[in-house]
A and B are shown apart, each in its own frame.
Chain A
Amino acid sequence: MGVMQKFNEPNIITTSSDKLFNWARKNSLWPLQFGLACCAIEMMSTGMAHNDLDRFGAGFFTASPRQADVMIVSGTVSTKMAERMTRLYEQMPEPKWVIAMGACAISGGPFLDGYSVLMGADRVIPVDVYVPGCPPRPEALIFGIMTLQKKIERDQQVGYERSRPALVTEDGDFLEYLPEREYTQISEGKAPRFEDIRPLKRTYVFEREGMPPASQTDVGWIPKEVKKKLKEQKKAEQATAEADGQKNGSPEEPADAKGTA
């Protein structure tokens, strides 16, 4: 791994090794047994024979955080448990990911107005994948793990900024990896009406500094016909650009073959 740190930019070696490492990591995600509440039962069902999680490599639920890759927060996080959850998260070695499973782990769920319920696991730890549902079906959890696998594929060992989750507030400043724990004011005993409650802070994943996540600009899979159309459109634009260039008087070869490239 010392070889990696000599490279400042991605090149053929780092991308190949990235592919290898990411392939290895995503296909053997060992989850931490962190079943909190009802979602834990669906997580167990996902690990059992009918919806088998073992075929994704993620079937070995380990009890010790030192051996775990991914922490599936399944269930309501109460404020008492949040401390222990962050301690477990800190004990997991890098690289580590977090899947927030179920409505309670995402945002507090049906117990949002409870006095001892944390409004979402992402208030205290950075979350990579959110799987909605109450509880999510095993198929949904499998989809969540597959999404995490796709995310791991995009990991870079060497890059402009190694993609790691970070917590960015809405004002734009990066918080420390584990921000100050914030608990809802509700536990103080005097709850204002809904309008006055602080809005939830979002967690963004930034891969290149200053740029929105790739998924917002990345279109994904395009059907063949649409691709062809877009190509022709692009060619047409290029042709008009060339034509304008010629009109403006720059001596250029009549680019016919090139323009249609």
Chain B
Amino acid sequence: MAVTLPEGDLSSRLERYLDGFKNRHGLEEAEVVGDTVRLVIEQGIVPAVLTTARESLGILHLAFITVVDREGSFEITYELLDFRGARVRVKTTVEGEEPVIDSVTGIYPTANWHEREAYDMFGVAFKGHPDLRRTYMWQDHFDHHPLLKSFEISTKRTFEGLR
């Protein structure tokens, strides 16, 4: 019932996490910057990497899932916190107009609403999500995904022409 929080010195823990990730998966980039372990991985192994983080390395908290719309592809960032000062930031890129990526709700149940919000705002579909529907916008006749760069609001062009 009780949750055990990690012990030990911060830098040794960061090294341990980095090694744990490197040994188990093929990562595109992996480094330790300050108090963060930064990983850039391919989209297919996201659930595997996060399973490693949760099960083997004991990183228990998924802080947020952010999607950034780089026109043409979507950059998804997962930030994990072990509760004692270390952070793990995992980045993937998903190509295309209608992106699909595996859901991590089975690993970190808190991702449920984060992924719903990402779907609502960006249209990123999460395979295996138990309940993928919109959070903020109305479900019936709203076919747009508001935070895409192609969805313009009236002040979008305010700074056009100025740098």
Q: Is the interface of B mostly helix, strand, loop or mixed?
A: loop
Contact A189 B144, CB 8 Å, known A80-B138, A116-B136: yes
Answer yes or no: A197 CB below 8 A from chain B CBs: yes
**Which B115-163 residues sit within 8 Å CB-CB of chain A?**
136-138, 142, 144, 146, 151-157
Number of interface residues of A (CB under 8 A): 15
Alpha-carbon distance A252/B141, docked complex (angstroms): 79
Q: How far is the CB of A108 from chain B (nearest CB, A)?
A: 11
Cβ of A115 and Cβ of B157 under 8 Å apart?
Answer: no
* Category for how many chain B residues contact A: 10 to 19
Q: How far is the CB of A184 from chain B (nearest CB, A)?
A: 9
- Taking CB atoms, residues of chain A closer than 8 Å to B156 are 191
Answer yes or no: A221 CB below 8 A from chain B CBs: no
- Contact pick for B154, options A79, A80, A113, A116, CB 8 Å: A113
- Taking CB atoms, residues of chain B closer than 8 Å to A190 are 152
When C-beta atoms are compared, the residue in chain A nearest to B148 turns out to be A189
Answer yes or no: A2 CB below 8 A from chain B CBs: no
When C-beta atoms are compared, the residue in chain B nearest to A184 turns out to be B154
- Taking CB atoms, residues of chain B closer than 8 Å to A193 are 154, 157
When C-beta atoms are compared, the residue in chain A nearest to B158 turns out to be A194
Cβ of B138 and Cβ of A115 under 8 Å apart?
Answer: no
Cβ of A115 and Cβ of B146 under 8 Å apart?
Answer: yes
Cβ of B153 and Cβ of A115 under 8 Å apart?
Answer: yes
**Which B11-36 residues sit within 8 Å CB-CB of chain A?**
none
Alpha-carbon distance A194/B160, docked complex (angstroms): 13
- Taking CB atoms, residues of chain B closer than 8 Å to A172 are none
- Taking CB atoms, residues of chain A closer than 8 Å to B144 are 189
Alpha-carbon distance A190/B146, docked complex (angstroms): 11
When C-beta atoms are compared, the residue in chain A nearest to B150 turns out to be A189
Cβ of A114 and Cβ of B153 under 8 Å apart?
Answer: yes
Alpha-carbon distance A219/B136, docked complex (angstroms): 48
Q: How far is the CB of B130 from chain A (nearest CB, A)?
A: 24
20 A-B pairs (CB sep. < 8 Å) = A79-B138, A80-B138, A113-B153, A113-B154, A114-B153, A115-B146, A115-B151, A116-B136, A116-B137, A186-B153, A186-B154, A187-B142, A189-B144, A189-B151, A191-B152, A191-B156, A192-B154, A193-B154, A193-B157, A194-B154
Seen from chain B, the residues whose Cβ lies within 8 Å of a Cβ on chain A are 136-138, 142, 144, 146, 151-157
Given A116-B136, A186-B153, 11 further pairs, Cβ under 8 A: A79-B138, A80-B137, A113-B155, A116-B137, A186-B154, A190-B152, A191-B156, A192-B154, A193-B154, A194-B154, A197-B154
